[in-house]
Amino acid sequence: MSLRIGDEAPNFSAETTEGRIDFHQWIGEGWAILFSHPKDFTPVCTTELGYMAKLQPEFQKRGCKVIGLSIDPVDDHQRWAKDIEETQGTAPNYPIIGDADLNVAKLYDMIHPNATGGKRTAVDNATVRSVFVIGPDKKVKLTLTYPMSTGRNFDEVLRVLDSIQLTARHTVATPVNWKPGEDVIIPTSVSDDDAKKKYPQGWKTLRPYLRVVAQPK
């Protein structure tokens, strides 16, 4: 079954480059990003894991842990880390799951349910370039799946996390291309009377259903 936004992120135990984990325990009380890549020692994945390592401190500032995954063994992840550091300038500074038996990939619907483990090519793993943002309540907040030939925009994942965290704290929504500090939208579920209490400084009404207000602090 496909995982949808609002579903509980399935729990699992797995070996990682930082030891065995229970996923829900590892998340703890904060946020988490689980992202998968098709295969170690491949070009697009090398650039992705290096860039995520550079961004990891930004996710950490937001109380969000990062964990990677592929269906390669942990030993391969550890050997590959040197290549990532030498070519991208930063080695992975987050755990990477070794999912050689495909348990997690299937649990998160990242690969065909009839797929089998063992020696595989990157093409066989075509669906495994996914991102899941998971909240402190262990619910899925975002899902993304990219094609084999397209590296992900992890800056966008960070932007979405900022939006999700803001809208979890305040009754607002974020408009197209929103960035932190920019104006936000008052949802239609909030009446004008309630909005006056929440936003005494006022707002701009473009249409009755489109009210723009400064981002809450």
Tokens representing 9? 């992120």
Those residues with Cβ within 8 angstroms of residue 205's Cβ, 6 or more apart along the chain or in another chain: 211
Alpha helix segments (H runs only) across the chain:
23-27, 43-61, 74-88, 103-107, 154-169, 192-198
Please say if 45 is a catalytic residue.
yes
Compute φ and ψ for 140, nearest 5 degrees.
-75, 125
For residues 161, 149, 7, 20, the Cα torsion angle rounded to the nearest 10 degrees is -90
Q: Are 35 and 2 in contact (CB under 8 A)?
A: no
Phi, psi of 52 (to 5 degrees): -60, -35
Which of 125, 165, 148, 144 is closest to 35 using CA atoms? Answer: 144
Q: Which of 33, 45, 74, 84 is catalytic?
A: 45
Kindly report the number of other CB atoms within 10 A of residue 84's CB atom. 24
Q: Which residues form the catalytic set?
A: 45
